[in-house]
Structure 1
Amino acid sequence: MKRICHLIFLILLLNLINSCSNEDDLEGNRENSYSPKKETYYFYVTFGTMPSLYASLHALSHNNPTYFSCERINTFDVNLFPSNITFLYGDNNPNKISARDMMKNRIMEINRMEPNSVFEFFVDDLRSRLGYDWFVAQGIDSSKVKVTLLSDGTATYNNFFDYFYNPSQGNAKWDDVASEINNLKWNSVDKLITPKLAEYQSHDWPYYMSTLPNYTYFKQDKNLLETQSSYIKSQVMNMKVKNISPLDLLNSLPLEKQNLFYNLTKFDKQKFSELFKKSPKKNLIIIGTTNSSAQEQYISQVYNEYSNEYDIFYKPHPADKDYLDYEKTYPGLILLPAQMPFEVFVWSLIDEIDVIGGNQSTVFMTVPVNKIKFLFAKDSESLFKPLNLIFKDADIEWIQ
């Protein structure tokens, strides 16, 4: 009996020792399999108004370390960006070499100091090759870089139409672009020398690039891309497009972040809301354009036709210098700030705006069609793409 008890004791002791040994092995495996956390760094580089709005709204949707640069710096009060966002000025214009090098040097520094880090890069679709030039061409593994192309607005659709609408021209153009992109050194581990400023111009690249791994395309609706080529239509199906507008991004943010966005864009909703309420008349907003010999004639026609029924507000284009005398020429007409992003104005006050009209603009892509009363154009077919499709059957006044 004693022998049996002794044997049982030995068996239990051996099991206990093995159990401890297995736990030590497990802890050892855990330690050996541990790898440092992969930090994700966000870089935003934009030039046009629409991509800048896309970028700023997306930047507010996360708390990762972020670097932000845009050509139109007056769009934002950069002092209000959250602490995780570093705004890079360079020469106050990212189209300058020093600003470009500032961004590229920071990318390389992160990659050198934190080799496990990964990158999210957001850029205008018209400069889509920056996702290659600023990362892969500097020796960074392309699998570590996720690129999101941001629609420039109407230019996205006009360029596609010009390049790919005609089947014979479009098919050859698509294959030429594909060949040009695929012939780049995507697996290079050596830093390459890129052209001085050529990297900024790649208007025909974004459509094919959005078919590549780790590339995504933000645009309002890829179904508005026009082509008569069945081949191009099949290629469009391969584009990784997220049909989303800046307004969609804005509405997806918590209310606190939405208010921060309005503050960033220096927009005072209450100020304009009170301005609308000063008169019992309904309001009408005219969207201006750059210097145009016909523009004042258009404004005169709208003023004479609608000023008895509506309060007239005029939003000048930032590059237009002829609007300064309009308030004197047209009594009661109210000028809106030229530098204000009109998209923000419309999104914030859309329920209080009665009607809008004017020169064709990207902003009309995010305005309900039933708010549009007139356009300065012959007909829908004469409009920029994709406005020609959006207003094809719209009941509006055509002023020419």
Structure 2
Amino acid sequence: MTTIGRPARAGDRITDVAGITVGHFQRVDADARVADPDSPDGHGWATGTTVVRVAAPNAVAAVDVRGGGPGTRETDLLDPSNTVQTVHAIVLSGGSAYGLAAADGVMRALEADGVGLPMDAAGHVVPIVPAAVIFDLPVGAWDHRPDAGFGAEAVRSAGTDFSVGSVGAGAGARAGSLKGGVGTASVTIAEGPAAGITVGALMVANPVGAVIDQSTGLPFDLTDADLAARGLKRPDPEECSAVAALAAKQTVLNTTIGVVATDAALDAAMTRRLAMAGHDGLGRAIRPAHSPLDGDTIFAVATGGVRPESAVPVPPGMHADVAIVAEVGRHAAEVVQRAIVDAVLSAESVASIPAYRDIAPSAFV
């Protein structure tokens, strides 16, 4: 197996939110190949699982599903009108619907550690582990997909330091005709009603749509500050043409999934608005997004560690935290967009799927 992945940057990753850790497990063979459309199978392993572990005891979770072809588990549980409002881990996996089996391994590993909803005086617990999957079955052999063992290994490896790129659930991901992957980003809000709150995202970019603007050869909607922060510039004309040609070739059965987390103290309904806002960032980074063939799903977690001291007056009958939620949501869209860009820029070629940094090396300063 090959060793892949790049370290996530401290200060710009979802684990900057206290109580959140991330773990990956993947199998990637050096000789993996994508299935030919006229052949029943690819070859080798090129898939994996990512687990976002939630250790904060009072965390609130929610989800927003907008793609037309989702593969999910325990999403109904996270409706704000339902009883259970927390999670102990969130599974993001390759393998299409088969990959949902990875959540079984996460549950067993957490149960062995006594982590979950307490059920009785004897110490029995039920871990709450929602999941979402991407369609990566044509990358590598069709029957090589994550199972419970992948989930157990991923959750056991969870920590604040983790890798991005072609790792975990991003091992077999594609972004249009480019290599996709796992990316992350975060921000601590400096001023306003939500000052001091941190918002982070981890995304698995595997969209039907394009992630590169054909006219510039760069990811969509990056500001000059974004380009400087990533060390990017417009690629040379011949590389820009090569990227444009690839961007025009789209796959047909894909999905972008991920998690937005904040240390703000939010209730279940407002946490769901965080997931909803995250989809704005998905729409900025991917064209088109939320297609009938995508399974676009974003989970949200509010760990509850920070509540700004300066309350903002709101009219009677309105949610007391509306000003805070508006600011946190605005930044949620930002970090989701940047996490998707991070996934594409950090990805390495797997199974001969070209990575952006291989096609446009001149873009990197």
TM-score (normalised: structure 1): 0.23
TM-score (normalised: structure 2): 0.25
Which of these two proteins has the greater Rg computed from alpha carbons? 1
